[in-house]
Amino acid sequence: MALIQQAPAAIKIIAMNCRPGCGACCIAPSISTPTPKMPHGKRAGEPCAHLTPNLACDLFGSPERPAVCGSLQPSAEMCGASREHALIWLERLEQLTRPQA
């Protein structure tokens, strides 16, 4: 399984629809923007407090949804053929874009 190997800007994006029952984009990345249920954002790898039991976003379509969430669009490269692929890809993206300490 080919996963992200370089900076995301160098990857050709092929758009796709969100995979039902996945929720990887609501778990793997960190979110620094406050939300109604997470006033301090969330750490990478922890499920978002707005992730529903069926792995959907309860802020989808709401003005309270962080812009970073709306800007992360599903793609064949990111989502792959499985939820596991998406989690690994997004974890790697998080590592590549994390500010240096």
Q: What φ, ψ does residue 24 adopt, rounded to 5°?
A: -60, -40
CB 80 within 8 A of CB 70: no
Host domain of residue 95: 30-101
Report the C-alpha dihedral over residues 96, 28, 57, 50, rounded to 10 degrees: -110
Is 12 contained in some domain? no
CA–CA separation, 66 and 85 (whole Å): 24
Q: What is the pLDDT of residues 42-92, one digit of tens each?
A: 999 999 999 999 999 999 999 999 999 989 889 999 999 999 999 999 999
Q: What φ, ψ does residue 51 adopt, rounded to 5°?
A: -80, 120
Number of domains in the chain: 1
Is 11 contained in some domain? no
Is 66 contained in some domain? yes
pTM given for the model: 0.78
